[in-house]
Structure 1
Amino acid sequence: MIVQFMRFAFREESTEKQKARALELIRRTAKVESVAYSTVGRLLGDPAEGYTHGYSFGLADLDAFERYMYDPVHLAGDTEILPHYAKLHVGVAVTDDPDPDLGAKISAVYEGKLARYPEWERLMTAIPEVRFG
């Protein structure tokens, strides 16, 4: 199992309607076949860190992770979600997989998506503050 947690905050200029739509799309992505379970909602962390919402999800294995990253629902949602992020932290994943190279393999999936979808890379680099790990 691979469990990942994302924290984010919306841009000040994003309307309540746009924020609600982005959350709706994240929840839709969280229901794709490769996701074992998920939670999307308000972040209960330290407000001083500037994050307001979170998304955690579990995937059975690396194959499920790759299917998730390339799922058409995920790809379609990102074009509407990412422009509203002011801050994004793709947190450390937790796994029970004993493969010592799993972290590098997950990174390779991200890199592959960036290479395959230049628009996704453009959307990611347009987020003012992005952090991995």
Structure 2
Amino acid sequence: MIHHCVRLTVKPGVDAARLDEALESLRRQGEVIPSVLSYLVGRDFGGEYEWGGTYVIEDLKGYWEYLVHPAHRRTDELGLPLVDKFVSYDITDDPDPDMGEKIAALHRRRYAQDPELARLVGGLGGYEGSAAPGPHGG
């Protein structure tokens, strides 16, 4: 099982309606992507981030489905332009010692297949986590 988690802060002055639309899109991807077994999107307390989401996915095949699903891509289009700092990370009970690299490879593959997504991620003020340093290597 893989728990894919994201945490983010928004840029100062972001319109509340645009933020609500992006957060609703995060929720929608949890509802419509078949490989997502459960999800939670909401306020993030206890650190420097404002919002977060967690998606439970069974395996790498499902993780890839999640990454490339149109609902996830729509969230990227709506949300990434609003984001200042972003972190994604994964928690898994899979005993494979190479699981972290396999997850990172899926992210790199996604960036390679979607130059516009790579541009959006490259424009973030800060990015850490599963696919860091991101599509541009830094």
Q: TM-score, with normalisation over the residues of structure 1? A: 0.92
Partner of 2:59: 61
How do 1:13-28 and structure 2 match up within 5 A? 13-28=13-28
What is the aligned-residue identity percentage?
33
Partner of 1:117: 114
CA distance in 1, matches of 2:79, 2:64: 20
Partner of 1:85: 83
Count of equivalent residues: 129
CA distance in 2, matches of 1:81, 1:20: 10
CA distance in 2, matches of 1:117, 1:13: 28
Stretches of structure 2 that go unaligned for 5 or more consecutive residues are 131-138
CA distance in 2, matches of 1:127, 1:112: 19
Partner of 1:70: 68
RMSD: 1.1
How do 1:29-44 and structure 2 match up within 5 A? 29-31=29-31, 32-44=33-45
Query: What letter corresponds to residue 43 of structure 2 in structure 1?
Result: R
CA distance in 2, matches of 1:73, 1:79: 10
Determine helix, strand or coil for the equivalent of 2:96.
coil
Q: Which has the higher contact order (CA 8 A, sep 6+)?
A: 1
Determine helix, strand or coil for the equivalent of 2:9.
strand
Residue 77 of structure 1: how far off its partner (Å): 2.2
How do 1:92-107 and structure 2 match up within 5 A? 93-107=90-104
Stretches of 4+ aligned residues off by more than 3 angstroms: none
Cα deviation 1:3-41 (Å, max 9, x = unaligned): 122110111131110110110011011121110111100
Q: TM-score, with normalisation over the residues of structure 2? A: 0.89
CA distance in 2, matches of 1:100, 1:11: 36
Determine helix, strand or coil for the equivalent of 1:4.
strand
Residue 76 of structure 1: how far off its partner (Å): 2.1
CA distance in 2, matches of 1:22, 1:45: 22
